[in-house]
Amino acid sequence: MTGHEPLRRCVGCGRTAPRRSLQRWVLDGSALVADPAGQLPGRGAYTCRAQDCYERARSRGGFNRAFRRAVQVPPTAPAGLESSENVHLDTA
């Protein structure tokens, strides 16, 4: 019997995917920071590893809803996120 794979929803596009395939974000004070290892404490929000999903979550208030408060989101996506064509190929 295999173990259970936790699922999370992207706050940008709304796609549900395994937690390990998404980018986790946490708050440091009121500033948004990436948590690639998934080890930082506190509430997390998830996006696909696509720049488009980050931008959509920033512009539509996805991070604010996920954290249930106002969040300082950097206007540009951090380095390391991919184009959406490469990320969303595995959706069924």
Query: Is residue 24 a contact partner of residue 35, using CB atoms and an 8 Å limit?
Result: yes
Where does residue 39 rank: exposed (0-12), middle (13-18), buried (19+ CB within 10 A)?
exposed
Query: Is residue 27 a contact partner of residue 79, using CB atoms and an 8 Å limit?
Result: no
pLDDT digit string (tens) for 56-92? 999 999 999 999 999 999 888 777 788 766 666 555 4
Rounded to the nearest integer, the mean pLDDT of the chain is 88
Q: How far apart are CA 10 and CA 49, in angstroms?
A: 9
Domains and CATH numbers, the chain: 7-79 (3.30.1230.10)
Q: pTM of the predicted model, to two decimals?
A: 0.84
